[in-house]
Amino acid sequence: MTVDAEQLRLSAHQVEKWSVAWGLLSLALWGWFAYRLLMANDVAFGAGREDVIALVGILALAVIPTIIAAATIVYAQVLFRLARQAGPVGE
């Protein structure tokens, strides 16, 4: 394997680890959003404007790492494909 292919493969593994971290953060934020949404629905209808504002804020916070996780997954796949095209393993 050439140095470039090895570097691409190592970079792909590193980006893949970051994508897992972003995915876990995203899942935690979506869980927080779901919890707050269920708690807001548990209270009387029209509980308050503060709950709605908090839910929108949490939703915005959950969407951002979701997009970053998706982008890093795609980037890792591209790096793996480039490493595979650069040279086979074992050369």
pLDDT exceeds 90 at position 45:
no
Task: Tell me which long-range contacts 10-18 makes (C-beta under 8 A, separation of at least 24).
Answer: 11/79, 12/76, 12/79, 12/80, 12/83, 13/76, 15/72, 15/75, 15/76, 15/79, 16/72, 16/73, 16/76, 18/72
pLDDT exceeds 60 at position 47:
no
What are 5-24's pLDDT values in tens digits?
889 899 999 999 999 999 99
In whole angstroms, give the CA distance from residue 45 to residue 51. Answer: 11
pLDDT of residue 51: 77
In whole angstroms, give the CA distance from residue 70 to residue 78. Answer: 13
What are 64-77's pLDDT values in tens digits?
999 999 999 999 99
